[in-house]
Homo-oligomer: A and B are copies of this chain.
Amino acid sequence: MKDTDQQVRSRSWKQDPEAVKADILTVAREEFAEHGLSGARIQQIVERTKSSKRMVFYYFGDKEGLYRAVLEEAYRGIRWQESELDLDGLPPVEALLRLVEFTFDHHRANPEFIRLVAIENIHRGRHMADMSDLADLNRAAIETLETICATGIAEGVFRPDVSPLILHWQISAMCFFNVANRHTFTRNFGTELFSDEAQKDLRASIARTLVEGVRLRP
């Protein structure tokens, strides 16, 4: 009868809003990545949290607000990691190879993020509408490629008409697909491309393909 969906929880860290929010976000991220926006259950998120359902609404407004916060945080987190890569001074072909391989590994290491992006695409990117500071974060990715391309063209090893944006698009496509479509691909064509060994080869293969795709030929 009486529906009371409160939950007992330790009051150990009360009075630290940021910690509470972070706690919620961490769990929410996992749940949204696992079940999608409509599939995730606030109750289930909260049960794995030191917080309460009420707090979710207090801090994030509603379910979509929480989802949006998760998405934003996910993007922010990803970009930070990307900046770890240092390609300065490398010859352009080498740099591109390294960038592709790094991206490939990076995507593989962050399947949860990939899932969130896939989910957000199902929602037609609707929830990214007002994530203003996203553009800045993404510009960095393009700038890296702009540098590589400029050098490559200047050195005469890249075609003069290579487009950093398209190149980024191609790298993303390959690396994203590898994680995001793994399951259906596996069901259709077997698991042979997804052993650790095979992934190394696959990575080499796509790195090579992308390099050959931009290489200037006499």
Contacts and interface: CB of A to CB of B under 8 A. Distances in A.
A187 B1 contact: no
A128 B178 contact: no
Q: How many copies does the complex hold?
A: 4
A125 B183 contact: yes
A211 to B, nearest CB: 9
Interface stretch (A81-89, A92-100, A146-154, A164-172): A164-172
Interface residues of A, number: 73
A38 B39 CA distance: 5
A180 B38 contact: no
- Secondary structure call for the A interface: helix
Given A177-B177, A183-B125, A189-B165, A118 B118 contact: yes
Interface of A: 1-7, 35-39, 43, 47, 57-61, 65, 69, 115, 117-126, 128-129, 131, 134-135, 138, 142, 163, 165-166, 168-170, 172-174, 176-178, 180-189, 192-193, 202, 205-206, 208-210, 212-215
